[in-house]
Amino acid sequence: MNSFLQYTVQGLAAGSFYALAALGLAIIFGVLGVVNFAHGACYMLGAIVAARLQDLIGLDFWLALIVVPILMFIFGVAIERLLVSRLIQLDPLYNFLLTFGLTLLLVDLVKRQYGVSGLPYARPEILSGQFSVGDVRLPVFQVFVFVFSLLVCAAVWLLMTRTRIGMIVRASTEKPDLTRSLGVDVGRWVTPVFGFGIALAGLAGVLASPFRAITADMGSNFIIILFAVVVIGGLGSIVGAVVAGFLVGLVEAFGQAYAPQLSQIMIFMLMAAVILWRPAGLFGREETA
Amino acid sequence: MSATTTDESATRPEETASGRPGGTFLGKSTRRWLLLGIGLALALSLPWFIYPPIALDIACWALFAVALDLLLGYAGLLSFGHAAFWGGSAYVTGLVAIKMGLPFPLAVLAGMLFAMALAAPIGFMSAKRSGIYFAMVTLAFGQMLYFVVNQWRDLTGGENGLQGVPINFFGIEAIEDEPFYFYYAALPLILLGMWFAWRVVHSPFGRVLVATRDNPARARALGYNVEKYRVMVFVLSAGLAGLAGGIFALGHGFVSLQEVAWQTSGKVVLVTVLGGIGTLWGAIIGAAIIVLLEDFLASAGFDGIGIITGAVFIVVVLLFRSGVWGTVANWVARRSGKKVETDAIGAADSEQGL
């Protein structure tokens, strides 16, 4: 029972990274219709930038949680303006390919600059230890990651459902033409939304930096799992992305605990099961293909 | 796939039927035979002016890209998991060659059959969706094989790869030991694969595929089982990718984990898009460019190949969406006063360049 709770917390912590990044992926897909292949690379950049800023100017973890997403937002805006927007009128597969090319470019640039061994990152003192719940000892950091990402997801959800900006974004996702004819400048929201999605991937990266090895390849496997997450949750569904993110984290943690050789494969088995049972994903709407 | 494609496909038959026969440039069939002749001559002479193992790499990647293009260009489905079939076949071919010592065409056949058997369930599940979903699902399933291969160390050698894959061919030493002769021994298999792809494209089956690509709803209304056609072409494409991957494994004498990684799936997409989607010749040209470029960069000691290939990808997608072959074909067409297509995915003319 003790280990059960430990694995659950571990799974929810791992799922936090997936949930945050998948949330960004889902929002971008919702508004732009673009699946951002470079999302894993942006997660990696978030961690790399956090590690480099700590090394160069001593930026601590707490400030990095604010500063790095802002930098990633600017990066995302630049990518959208310079590259993605040029292909937005065409088949969405072109932007998928474009961001794939961007991934190759970013990963190898980072690899060339910082090598293949991981960058060091000092974990804040307060997050280092463990604390006890009854007779179960839980790592503080895992609990923090879970609570923090849950708060961010809740904040994004409130932003989307309770504010005017969220209303406009949701309207332009569901009925772009109708929204436009009601006098809303849909195009104006595309760039900030893309930046926001990238910032979420960067935030996941910062959050992972004291926790995982910071290497150029840290996003390579991440992006594949992320795709499985959004397929399971239903592409474009915000709730689906978050729920599936935590679900996949749990599958991964319990898989590692009880069947270490199968842990990664189990995620894809879950995806296959969802595709067979509900092709549109757990929270996706059925479309006529 | 998109609204524009249906419009274009509607105007296309008329365009070809009214048949400006070749315009300023030779007749259509003359041009086709001429291209075929040049292509064959190049394929036969390649190891004379290129280091033979590199020539074999080009031939294998060309067939791999043709296999992917069968799916992308003619069925409008972007598979991002084709490394599973190429690499899966490479491992099976390698294992059969090592453990059973069969003549190499039989080892490749075993790999090919494995790739097709693997493709059937993956295709069945992926074909439920098209477009971007298809790409993501195939990518994830492709990665599944990567994890299996990586975990099953006793059989596959894990991260060390499968070492010492022999070429067995009735004890004929020239073929077994020298890359130059092995190239000529393997070339017929590659050409057979390409001929098969060409036959598929120009068969009634191929016409139905194009119909399911341009307007799945209409194809369905005409009584075609769209999903079934998608699964069938997926399995055929996987078989060709497996044929290429098996020969590649034998040519190198080992199989690395890289062959089943998603980066390899991405590379074959790059090769196809660079050459020109929906043009089988383009796939071959794309393969030659990428293999030679990577060989050049590697021998120049440049260790960030992804920087170059990634940048090439971005530029091609932004500026030359119809690829090298398509750009040249459009240029020729423009000179003879024809209408030019710019959107390549799902809109490439299946006759173009063949």
pLDDT, tens digit only, all 289 positions of chain A: 578 888 898 899 999 999 999 999 988 888 888 899 999 999 999 999 999 998 888 888 888 899 999 999 999 999 999 988 888 888 888 889 999 999 999 999 998 888 777 788 877 877 777 777 777 778 888 889 999 999 999 999 888 888 888 888 778 767 777 888 888 877 778 889 899 999 999 999 999 888 788 888 888 889 989 998 998 988 878 888 999 999 999 999 998 888 887 888 888 888 888 888 887 888 876 553 3
Q: Is the dihedral of CA B116, B120, B122, B127 positive or negative?
A: positive
Which of A219, A223, A197 lies closest to A49 in space, CA to CA? A219
Q: Chain centroid to CA B103: how far?
A: 25
Who contacts B73 (Cβ-Cβ below 8 Å, separation ≥6)?
A: B272, B277, B278, B279, B280, B348, B350
**Residue B348 in this model has a pLDDT that exceeds 60:** no
pLDDT tens-digit map of B276-328: 888 888 889 999 999 999 889 888 888 888 899 899 989 999 988 888 888 88
Position B162 scores a pLDDT of 83
**Residue B18 in this model has a pLDDT that exceeds 70:** no
Q: Tell me the CA distances in angstroms from A91 to A63, A226, B50, B346, one per residue in order.
A: 39, 22, 38, 9
Cβ atoms A250, A8 nearer than 8 A: yes
Within an 8 Å CB–CB cutoff, is residue A229 touching chain B?
no
* Least CB–CB distance from B2: residue in A91, A271, A276: A91
Minimum CA–CA partner of B131 in chain A: A93
Who contacts A53 (Cβ-Cβ below 8 Å, separation ≥6)?
A: A59, A64, A67, A68
Band (pLDDT 50/70/90 cuts) for residue B346 is very low
Position B339 scores a pLDDT of 58
Beta bridge partners of A137: A132
DSSP one-letter string for B109-175: HHHHHHHHHHHHHHHHHHTTS-HHHHHHHHHHHHHHHHHHHHH-HHHH-GGG-B--PPP-STT-HHH
What end-to-end distance do the CA atoms of chain B give, in Å? 23
pLDDT tens-digit map of B167-185: 777 777 767 777 888 888 8
pLDDT tens-digit map of B182-200: 888 889 999 999 999 999 9
Within an 8 Å CB–CB cutoff, is residue A268 touching chain B?
yes
Q: Chain centroid to CA A264: how far?
A: 18
Band (pLDDT 50/70/90 cuts) for residue B20 is very low
**Residue B8 in this model has a pLDDT that exceeds 70:** no
Q: Can you tell me the ipTM of this complex? A: 0.84
Beta bridge partners of A139: A130
Reduced 3-state DSSP string for B55-102: HHHHHHHHHHHHHHHHHHCCCCCCCCCCHHHHHHHHHHHHHHHHHHCC
Position B340 scores a pLDDT of 54
Q: Which of A36, A79, A104, A220 should be substituted to probe chain B, the one whose Cβ sees the most B Cβ atoms within 10 Å?
A: A104
Q: How many angstroms separate the CA atoms of B17 and B13, rounded? A: 6
**Residue B11 in this model has a pLDDT that exceeds 60:** no
Q: Which of B314, B342, B343 should be substituted to probe chain A, the one whose Cβ sees the most A Cβ atoms within 10 Å?
A: B314
Mean pLDDT of B31-51: 83
**Residue B109 in this model has a pLDDT that exceeds 90:** yes
Position B352 scores a pLDDT of 37
Question: Per the CB < 8 Å rule, is A108 touching B143?
Answer: no
Average pLDDT, chain B: 82
Q: Is the dihedral of CA B75, B266, A282, A160 positive or negative?
A: negative
Cβ atoms A271, A224 nearer than 8 A: no
Position B2 scores a pLDDT of 39
Minimum CA–CA partner of A264 in chain B: B147
Min Cα separation A127/chain B (Å) = 32
Which of A283, A194, A193 lies closest to A239 in space, CA to CA? A283
All residues of chain B having their beta carbon less than 8 Å from the beta carbon of residue A91 are 1-2, 131, 343, 345-346
Cβ atoms B333, B340 nearer than 8 A: yes
DSSP one-letter string for B224-285: --HHHHHHHHHHHHHHHHHHHHHHHHHHHTSB-GGGGSHHHHHHHHHHHHHH-TT-HHHHHH
All residues of chain B having their beta carbon less than 8 Å from the beta carbon of residue A108 are 304-307, 310
Cβ atoms A225, A18 nearer than 8 A: yes
CA B29, B31, B34 angle in degrees (round to 5)?
110
Per-residue tokens: A40: 């894993």
| Between B128 and A74, the higher pLDDT residue | A74
Within an 8 Å CB–CB cutoff, is residue B130 touching chain A?
yes
Min Cα separation B239/chain A (Å) = 22
Q: Tell me the CA distances in angstroms from A215 to A67, A107, A113, B8, B347, one per residue in order.
A: 20, 9, 11, 46, 40
Q: Chain centroid to CA B39: how far?
A: 16
* Element containing residue B42 per DSSP (H, E): helix B28-49
Amino acid at A91: D
Q: Which of B29-38, B95-104, B337-346 has the lowest mean pLDDT?
A: B337-346
Within an 8 Å CB–CB cutoff, is residue B269 touching chain A?
yes
Min Cα separation A200/chain B (Å) = 20
Min Cα separation B201/chain A (Å) = 22
Position B338 scores a pLDDT of 63
Cβ atoms B310, B297 nearer than 8 A: no
Position B335 scores a pLDDT of 79
Which of B76, B57, B102 lies closest to B233 in space, CA to CA? B76
Burial status of residue B218 (CB atoms within 10 A of its CB: 0-12, 13-18, 19 or more): middle
